[in-house]
Amino acid sequence: LGRSVCRHLHAGPRLRALSLADCEAMNRGDRPLPERFNFAGDVLDQWARKEETGERPAGPALWWVSGQGAEVKWSFGELGTLSRKAANVLAQPGGLARGDRVAVILPRVPEWWLVNVACMRTGLVFMPGTTQLTAKDILYRLRASKAKGLVASEEVAPAVEAVVSECPDLKTKLLVSPRSRPGWLSFQELFQCASAEHGPVDTGSREPAAIYFTSGTTGSPKMAQHSHGSLGIGYTLCGRHWLDLKPSDTIWNLSDTGWIKAAIGSVFAPWLQGACVFVHQMAQFDPDTLLDTLTTYPITTLCCAPTVYRMLVQKDLERYQFLQLRHCLTGGEPLNAEVREQWKRQTGLDLHEGYGQTEVGIICANLKGQDIKPGSMGKGVLPYDVQIIDEDGNILPAGKEGEIALSLKPARPFSFFSEYVDNPGKTAATERGDFYVTGDRGVKDSDGYFWFVGRADDVIITSGYRIGPFEVESALIEHPAVVESAVVSSPDPVRGEVVKAFVVLSAPYKSSDPEQLTRELQEHVKNVTAPYKYPRKVEFVEQLPKTITGKIKRNVLRDQEWGRT
Ligand code: BCO
C-alpha cells in the first residue's frame, strides 16, 4: 500500500476550529461537546495540514514493520489520502452506508488502521475483533450486531465461510490478502483503483462510532457502543498526561486490534497529540522480539500488559540498549509492586499503570510527574470523579473497601459508552444511585490513590484479558467428557491469574488418563472459543459445591484456589 500513495492533496478536508486545547477543555468539563465531530476530519486532517505548514515535525503518523523486512511509514497526509481510498471501497463497491455495522477482524496490519479511519470518514460503526475468534464467536457477533459488512484476513476467512449462511444481514465481505478468494471482494484490488476524493460524513459527536464486545459473568459478550465524541475526544488528557505524548514521540502499544486498548493506545490518544503510532505485526508474542525492537527503532513510549513486563523482567535487561525509550505504561490487569521495582532497577524507567474498562476508558492512572505509590493504580483521571461506594451507592471513607464507581453527576460523562446495544437491562445494571459501577472492588487511601482489590463478580482477569466463566463453561460442556464444570481464577506468577476449570466427568471418561484428557479439553476449548480463554489449569472432581437451589458456588472454589477461608 505504501507505494500507491498519491502525493496530491486530499479532497475537501472539513476543518473545524477545534483545537487540542478545546478537546482538553471538554475533557475537564469546562466546555460542552460540539454537536458535530468526526475524528478523521476534525483531528487527523488538521494534523495533515500542520504537516504542510511545518507546524508538526516531519515524521510518520503510522510506522508499521512486519518483522520480516516489510515496512510502511505514512504521514498524516498519506494516511488521509489512503483512508479516503479505503472509505470509497467501503462505500462503493462495498455498498455500506452511514450507520451500518462492520466487523473488522484483522491482525496488526496497516489496513486495520485504514479501515478504522475509513469507517470514521463514512460514518460506519467499527466493530473490531481479535483474530483468535472462532467460527462460533464470529457467528454470535455477526448475528447479535446484524452486521452489514465484514473485513477479515485470510486466516479468519474459513471460519467466516463456515457460518456466513446463518447471517442474513451480512451483505459485504472484504478480504485483506494479496490473494483473491471466491465469494469475497478483494480489498487490495479495489483499493488500488479507488478514488482518493472523499469528504468525511458530518457525524454527530454522540452518533455511534464503534462497538466492543465485553465479557460478563453470565451470558454471551455484551455490545458496548461508543460514540464519535467518546472515543475521539475522550482520550485527549490521557494522551497528554498519562501517555505523555508530543508530536515528536513514537508510541508502541502492543494490544491486539480487537481490544479497546488498541483504540486508546494505537489510534485516538496518540493521534490527538500528533504522535507517531508504531506497530510490530508480531503474529505470535515473543519477549525477545520485543526487546530487539526497542533497541532497533526510536520508540519513546511503550505500553503493554503487566503480563508482558512480568515476562520481560525474567530477561537480563541490562544487556539491551533501548534506543529512545523514556516512558513506560501498563494496564489491563493489576501490576505487582515487585515487577515495577524490577523493571525500574533494570531499566531505570518507571512503570505508569492505568486502570480502565472498555465501557469508560481510563479511570485511574499514575500520570507522568505524579508520585507513584507501588501497588496502587494511581489517582482518578479527568473527566471522571472516581469514588469507592457501598452496596447502597453511598461514598465510603478513605481506607474502606468497596466498589470502584464513577459519578454520573452533574451529567453522564460524554466519554462513557452509550449503551449495551439491545440490552437495556444490562445497561441499567451498571448504575447504582448517582454512580456507574465498574464491578471492580478497591480502596481509596487518604492521599486519593486507588488500590485494586479484585472483581465483585466472577469475571477472570488474566494476561490483560477479561474472561467470563460462563463462556468457558459453555465451551467445556460441548465435550462428551464433561457433565458440568465451574470456571474460576487461579493465581499465576506470570499471568497474574489464569483460568481454572473444575470438571465433573461423564462415566465413560472417569478412567481416562488425566493429563491426556486435560490436553484434550484444552484443545477443545481453543477450537470452540477464542483460544486465549482456554483453561490453563484443569482439575477433575466428583462434584461441584452448590447452593440449596443447585447454583454452582464458584466463590468457594475461587477462595480455595487463592488460599482464602
Ligand atoms: O500459551 P499457549 O501457547 O498455550 O496458548 C496461547 C496461544 O498459543 C494460543 N493460540 C493463539 N492463537 C491460536 C491459539 N491456539 C490455537 N489456534 C490459534 N489460532 O492461545 C493462547 C492465547 O493466549 P495469549 O493471547 O495470552 O497468548 P500469549 O502468546 O501468551 O500472549 C501473552 C500476551 C501478554 C502478549 C497476551 O496475553 C496479551 O496480549 N495480553 C494483553 C491483552 C490486552 O491487550 N488486554 C487489554 C484489553 S482492553 C482493557 O483492558 C480496557 C482498558 C481500558
Cα–Cα distances in Å, from 362 out to 259, 331, 357, 404, 416? 13, 9, 7, 13, 10
Q: What is d(CA 200, CA 333) in angstroms, rounded to the nearest whole number?
A: 37
The residue type found at 477 is I
Question: Which residue in 11, 52, 14 sits closest to 34, CA to CA?
Answer: 14
- Report the residue among 293, 526, 529, 538 best suited for mutation to probe ligand 1: largest number of ligand atoms under 8 A from its CB: 526
> From the CA of 530, how far away is ligand 1's center (Å)?
9
State if pTM tops 0.90.
Answer: yes
Write out residues with Cβ below 6 Å of ligand 1.
Answer: 132, 255-256, 259-261, 285, 305, 307-308, 331-332, 356-358, 361-362, 463-465, 526, 531-532
pLDDT in tens, the chain (565 residues): 433 333 333 444 455 667 889 888 888 888 889 999 999 999 999 999 999 999 998 899 999 999 999 999 999 999 999 999 999 999 999 999 999 999 999 999 999 999 999 999 999 999 999 999 999 999 999 999 999 999 999 999 999 999 999 999 999 999 999 999 999 999 999 999 999 999 889 999 999 999 999 988 788 899 999 999 999 999 999 999 999 999 999 999 999 999 999 999 999 999 999 999 999 999 899 999 999 999 999 999 999 999 999 999 999 998 999 999 999 999 999 999 999 999 999 999 999 999 999 999 999 999 999 999 999 999 999 989 999 999 999 999 999 999 999 999 999 999 999 999 999 999 999 999 999 999 999 999 999 999 999 999 999 999 999 999 999 999 999 999 999 999 999 999 999 999 999 999 999 999 999 999 999 999 999 999 999 999 999 999 999 999 998 999 999 999 999 997 6
Given a contact cutoff of 8 angstroms between Cβ atoms, the answer to whether 533 and 459 are in contact is no
Q: Which atom of ligand 1 is nearest to the CA of 264?
A: 53
* Cα within 13 Å of Cα(400), Cβ side: 12
- Look at residue 58 in the predicted model and tell me its pLDDT: 86
pLDDT at 8: 34
Helix (H) or strand (E) run with residue 111 in it? helix 110-122
CA atoms within 13 A on the CB side of 362: 37
> For residue 350, which of 322, 370, 324 has the smallest C-alpha distance?
370
Give me the pLDDT at residue 305, please: 97
Asked whether 31 and 245 are in contact (CB, 8 A), the reply is no
Distance 533 CA to ligand 1 centre (A): 8
Rounded CA-CA distance 417/374 in Å is: 30
Residue nearest to atom 26 of ligand 1 (CA): 532
Distance in Å, CA 483 to ligand 1 centroid: 28
pLDDT in the model for residue 211: 98
Q: Provide the pLDDT for residue 217.
A: 78
Residue 17: the pLDDT is: 62
Give the side-chain half-sphere CA count within 13 A for 391: 1
Q: Distance from the CA of 456 to the center of ligand 1, in angstroms?
A: 24
From CA 507, how far away is CA 500, in angstroms rounded? 22
pLDDT at position 565 is 61
**Strand 351-357 relative to strand 361-365, pairing:** antiparallel
Compute the Cα dihedral for 229, 230, 231, 234 and give only its sign.
Answer: positive
Contact 198, 11 (CB under 8 A): yes
User: DSSP 3-state assignment of 557?
Assistant: helix
In this structure, is the dihedral angle defined by the CA atoms of residues 510, 512, 518 and 519, taken in order, positive or negative?
Answer: negative
Three-state SS sequence of 381-402: CCCCCEEEECCCCCECCCCCCE
Q: What phi, psi does 412 have (nearest 5°)?
A: -60, 125
pLDDT tens sequence across 172-204: 999 999 999 999 999 999 999 999 999 889 999
Hey, what amino acid is at 208?
Answer: P
Pocket test for ligand 1, best of 105, 108, 132 (most atoms within 8 A of CB): 132
For ligand 1, the distance from its centroid to the CA atom of residue 532, given in whole angstroms, is 5
Instruction: Give the C-alpha separation, 308 to 306, whole Å.
Output: 5
Three-state SS annotation for 319-384: HCCCCCCCEEEEECCCCCHHHHHHHHHHHCCCEEEEEEECCCEEEEECCCCCCCCCCCCCEECCCC
Find cell 493489576 and name the residue: 334
Which of 532, 534, 537 to mutate to test ligand 1, by most ligand atoms within 8 A of the CB atom? 532
Helix/strand/coil for 251:
strand
